[in-house]
Amino acid sequence: MKNTPIAASALLLASLLASSCTKKTTATTSPAPAKTMMPGEASIVRNQETISATQVSPPQVITPNPDFKYVTEQFADLRILRYQVPGFDNLTAKQKELLYYLYEAALSGRDIIYDQNYKHNLRIRRTLDAIVQNKRDRSTSPDWEKFMVYTKRVWFANGIHHHYSANKMLPEFSQDFLAASIRKVPANRLPLQKGETVETFIKWITPVLFDPKLDAKQVNKASGEDLIKTSAVNFYEGVSQKEVEAFYAKKDVKNDPRPVSHGLNSKVVKENGQVVEKVWKSDGMYGPAIQRIIFWLEKAVMVAENDKQRLALQKLVDFYRTGDLKTFDEYNIAWVQDVDSQIDVVNGFIEVYDDPLGLKGSFESVVSFKDVEATKRIKAIGDQAQWFEDNSPLLPQHKKKNVVGITAKVITTVVESGDAAPATPIGINLPNANWIRKEHGSKSVNLGNIVHAYNESANTGGSALTEFAFSQEEIDRAKKYGSLASDLHTDMHEVIGHASGQINPGVGTPKQTLKNYASTMEEGRADLVALYYVMDPKLVEIGVMPSLEVGKAEYDAYIRNGLMTQLSRLAPGEVIEEDHMRNRQMVAGWAYEKGKKDNVIERVTKDGKTYFKVHDYAKLRELFGQLLRETQRITSEGDFKAAEKLVETYGVKVDQALHKEVLQRYSKLNIAPYNGFIQPKLTPVVKDGKIVDVLLVYPDNFTQQMLEYGETYSTLPDYN
């Protein structure tokens, strides 16, 4: 269902928002403000839908619906899903209002991730949107379907490079079709630059989309190359890797116990021969989008659940205004200390996977509320964090003597944006600064309703489990325990994995010492903590799993995926460059090789097909423990050479014959290797100029949502 906007009530929302706005913002793409709005506020309320409280019935409680349609469509290597938000209508009106403001703040940053991913992405997206919206172009040409597939891939990836492989996605429609489609769009709806004609624009955009050698790789992590010059990601321009490393080396303070995350919120460029930063803040780069994010966050501050949440949100606003990374640290500390709020949000420049040097944070937001019942499992693990640390196979000097402030919970996701959408994580552990984790703790979450949607949608198409599992015993164990095993792995990866271990005094942060291998090593380290303990009787003792059969199911799945099935995500001839894929193959490949003598894992050929069978689960756990000790040593000591050798030896190269076989077997299953989500839609119910309720509906058309987002949340100019 879709709520139909009631135009008259839009003025009610405009009045509501204007009445308490203290800082005016103006987006470059905004229309002239309506007379009822304060100057500069048109960009804030335009295209927002509202419903009058006198025109709706009381909302019904949203509960998991067994007939809910999770899968909406499949194309290329992608599948589009939906997720439910059970419990939303059990929240108070004030909590829903808070969620609405955070929802708007999340979506207001959508343009940022496009521009971060590639400097031409916004212009390209606006061109594709205009063609789709142009009714005159609904031709019967066979190129139209290919055009729509390409456009949806761009929407899914937040740009023209694949969201996982980072390779440029090449159109399958013709260049002539593109040119003809552009000519049919009114010129005032195209992202033409000053003085540019339609024909000049066509001449420019054609090679940008079709030339496979032009900006071919969004993020290059190949050893021995200039990672900056060979990456198309828009974090750097006109500078080399050596110049960037030298620039930040001057900023880093040696032996600083509380190092600032230099470079997290800026683009590095060269101006007048000097290397400088363009900081992302309200009066700097991305200013129009950030001003709009601030607007909604300030609304959220006014309806915060408690003082701690209010302080955290205000610190986030302060960070966005100033761009000061010390303020960002203050925000993270305040956010970690807010443990009582039911509503929570991640919003900011967070993960650094898309930077080849691991410095720059991609914009993302996840808005959620706590799933109280489901949290009991993950909390039981978090409560034992010190036990897990004390009993880990790490060297004594690398163990934390006092694990503090781990907050573990299962969350119900309301909306995701930026780098977290449409493709989403299933677990999050933040903040990323090691010193904040050590001194103040961290929050670890499992995105419960997202995981549920994945599990419910897994029954469509063929069965990868049946195709790639070696025996019926393995299949039966996976069907019985696989879902719980996966949940426990995610829980422990986030809760006790990322939070474990410590860096030796005087050693820099992993991004300083391990550089382009830091993210792979960190994900591998967290995976190994989870793998080591998923076969520990302690989990049975604390009541989170019934037996070690759950651990065996996870070992089967991890080895099967790390050595074989994840190869379905690569094109023929490719090597592995994405950090999570590198870490999984690194861990599984290392264990396979080191266990060959004792036949711990066997590579088996049956009926002409390859399988990997675990023979000795106890010895495999020992191997995981050994590798965990080594990955922590490398991290603690900042051993770049060892990290490079480990990752390059086990995590990058692909067995091309096995890869070809995997692709052939997968092609028969009708399974898309990647999934992403259409987001729920929130609409405020307004009475007497105040939000008295918020309605939630589940859109089911990916194209329609992307076009609506393109209209509603277009906050930035084509180039920034």
Q: pLDDT (tens digit, 9 = 90+) per residue, 380-396?
A: 999 999 999 999 999 99
Position of tokens 């009991």? 376
What does the pLDDT read at residue 53?
A: 55
Top pLDDT among 91 and 22 is at: 91
What does the pLDDT read at residue 4?
A: 29
Position of tokens 């277009």? 714
- CA–CA separation, 489 vs 511, rounded Å? 25
What does the pLDDT read at residue 460?
A: 57
What φ, ψ does residue 419 adopt, rounded to 5°? -70, -10
Which tokens is 305 given? 């659940």
Which residues are CB-contacts of 145 (< 8 A; sequence separation ≥ 6)? none
- CA–CA separation, 427 vs 364, rounded Å? 14
- CA–CA separation, 478 vs 532, rounded Å? 19
Which residues are CB-contacts of 576 (< 8 A; sequence separation ≥ 6)? 570, 582, 585, 651, 652, 653, 654
With the CA atoms of 331, 676, 702 and 51 taken in that order, what torsion angle do they form, in degrees rounded to the nearest 10?
A: -40
DSSP line for 84-117: --TTGGGS-HHHHHHHHHHHHHHHTTHHHHHHHH
Q: Residue 237: name the closest of 363, 116, 110 by CA.
A: 116
Handedness of CA 620, 517, 502, 385 (dihedral sign): negative
Which tokens is 76 given? 């290329």
Top pLDDT among 626 and 2 is at: 626
Q: What percent of the chain has pLDDT over 70?
A: 90
Which tokens is 565 given? 């099935």
What φ, ψ does residue 229 adopt, rounded to 5°? -65, -25
Q: What angle do CA 515, 521, 522 make, to 5 degrees?
A: 100
In this predicted structure, the answer to whether residue 283 has a pLDDT above a threshold of 60 is: yes
Q: Residue 689: name the closest of 260, 240, 53 by CA.
A: 53
Kindly report which listed range (11-20, 104-113, 204-213, 467-476) carries the lowest average pLDDT score: 11-20
What does the pLDDT read at residue 51?
A: 64
**Tens digits of residue pLDDT in 501-550:** 999 999 999 989 999 999 999 999 999 999 999 999 999 999 999 999 99
Top pLDDT among 618 and 379 is at: 618
pTM: 0.85
What does the pLDDT read at residue 23?
A: 37
Top pLDDT among 20 and 503 is at: 503
Which residues are CB-contacts of 441 (< 8 A; sequence separation ≥ 6)? 336, 404, 405, 406, 407, 499
Top pLDDT among 218 and 14 is at: 218
Which residues are CB-contacts of 95 (< 8 A; sequence separation ≥ 6)? 305, 342, 343, 369
Kindly report which listed range (54-68, 251-265, 359-373, 700-714) carries the lowest average pLDDT score: 54-68
What φ, ψ does residue 237 adopt, rounded to 5°? -155, 125
What does the pLDDT read at residue 141?
A: 77
Identify whether the C-beta of residue 640 lies closer than 8 Å to the C-beta of residue 514. yes
Kindly report which listed range (41-50, 179-188, 266-275) carries the lowest average pLDDT score: 41-50
Identify whether the C-beta of residue 491 lies closer than 8 Å to the C-beta of residue 529. no
- CA–CA separation, 451 vs 486, rounded Å? 9
Strand pairing category for 609-614 and 601-606:
antiparallel
Top pLDDT among 406 and 224 is at: 224
Residues 216-237, mean pLDDT to the nearest whole number: 95
What does the pLDDT read at residue 49?
A: 63
- Could you tell me how many residues make up the chain? 720
- CA–CA separation, 376 vs 408, rounded Å? 9
Q: Residue 618: name the closest of 548, 540, 525 by CA.
A: 548
- CA–CA separation, 457 vs 463, rounded Å? 12
Residue 395 DSSP code = -
Q: Residue 612: name the closest of 655, 579, 582, 664 by CA.
A: 655
Average pLDDT across the chain, whole number: 90
Residue 493 DSSP code = I
Residue 184: count of CB within 10 angstroms of its CB: 13
| 684: β partners | 694
Which strands make up the sheet holding 690-697, listed edge to edge?
Answer: 51-52, 681-687, 690-697
- CA–CA separation, 528 vs 535, rounded Å? 12
What does the pLDDT read at residue 458?
A: 74
Residue 567: count of CB within 10 angstroms of its CB: 24
Which residues are CB-contacts of 620 (< 8 A; sequence separation ≥ 6)? 555, 559, 591, 595, 600, 601, 614
Split at pLDDT 50, 70, 90, the class of 670 is: confident
What does the pLDDT read at residue 498?
A: 92
In this predicted structure, the answer to whether residue 461 has a pLDDT above a threshold of 60 is: no
Which tokens is 273 given? 């021969």
Q: Residue 386: name the closest of 404, 374, 398 by CA.
A: 404
